Structure 1
Amino acid sequence: MSISDIIEQYLKEILHANEKKVIEIKRSEIANQFECVPSQINYVINTRFTFEKGYLIESKRGGGGYIRITRVEYQDEFQLIDEIIAMINPAVSEQGALDVLERLREKKLINLREEHLIISALQREVLNLPLPERDHLRARILTNILTTLKYINSKGEERDGM
């Protein structure tokens, strides 16, 4: 397990324990706690706590500065899917799509098998187009999958493997 994984796990545990799903941290204090450079904390926040994964990040620089991490929760899965569709359009990067799929799996809207099938269809090698067309096509495909998922869930259809 890497230091980034350990820091991510630590921050997620604090968030999970906080009923408001909001934490404020001081980058330098966390860096001292894990005996790493402050830029390592930035890396973890910028890559592991993205909007696509369901987090909002606010930061204030300076002596009294902080980083506020908020876990975005939705009332129901339909609201979540609608928000994701709005977020990924008109274009989404491969990493952004991977983050969205991870979030859908965490929310149990798709299973691991479905996640892997969708990933295989959205890879840059498959969508062999130049940018930005590739990201636009990826967004259209993912939007269609999400719309279908929303429709299936609204009909109450059971899915195997869950």
Structure 2
Amino acid sequence: MGITDLIASFLQQSLEEAENGVLEVQRNDLAQRFNCVPSQINYVMSTRFSPERGYIVESRRGGNGYIRITRVRVDRQTLMMHVINSLGAQVDLPSARAILSNLVQSGALAEEIGQALLAALGDKALGAVPRESRNQVRADIMKQVLILQV
């Protein structure tokens, strides 16, 4: 298990034990605990505790800086609309894969639909589309299919 996984597991467990679903931690304390640089903590926050995964992360830098993680429980439709609205004009394949994985894991999207959509968004399926346009086409397809799922 890598350092990123260890940090994420620790934070997830701490969040589950938190009374009100809110965890507040010091970035420097976490970095010392896991013997890593604070930017590694930032990486974990941005990749593992994103709004698409159902979290709100607030942070304040400085001597008394903190990171506050709040687990947000939203209904399926709200989550789907958030994802659709947060998709930009382009989405690369790794991002599309992560978003679909998160939607499937949260139960907002059936696994079969997630797999079919991922296949439709892949470079093999978009082979006739020029490389420089694939991310735009990928985003358009993803939005349209997710809209149908709402």
Query: Could you tell me the TM-score, scaled by structure 1's length?
Result: 0.76
The answer as to whether partners of 1:52 and 1:103 remain within 8 angstroms in 2 is yes
- For 1:77 and 1:111, locate their aligned partners in 2 and report how far apart those are by CA, in whole Å: 12
Structure 2 partner of 1:10:
10
Match of 1:59, SS state, is: strand
* Count of equivalent residues: 148
Cα deviation for residue 16 of structure 1 reads 2.6
Q: Note the alpha carbon deviations across 1:41-70, whole angstroms, 9 max, x for none.
A: 122122222233333322211100112222
Amino acid at match of 1:100: I
List gaps (5 residues or longer) in structure 1.
151-162
Q: How does 1:17-36 map to 2 (within 5 A)?
A: 17-18=17-18, 20-36=20-36
Cα deviation for residue 112 of structure 1 reads 4.2
Q: How does 1:130-141 map to 2 (within 5 A)?
A: 130-131=131-132, 133-141=133-141
- For 1:2 and 1:136, locate their aligned partners in 2 and report how far apart those are by CA, in whole Å: 33
Q: CA RMSD in A?
A: 2.3
The answer to which structure has the higher helix fraction is: 2
Q: In the alignment, is residue 98 of structure 1 matched against residue 101 of structure 2?
A: no
- For 2:7 and 2:86, locate their aligned partners in 1 and report how far apart those are by CA, in whole Å: 27
Cα deviation for residue 95 of structure 1 reads 3.1
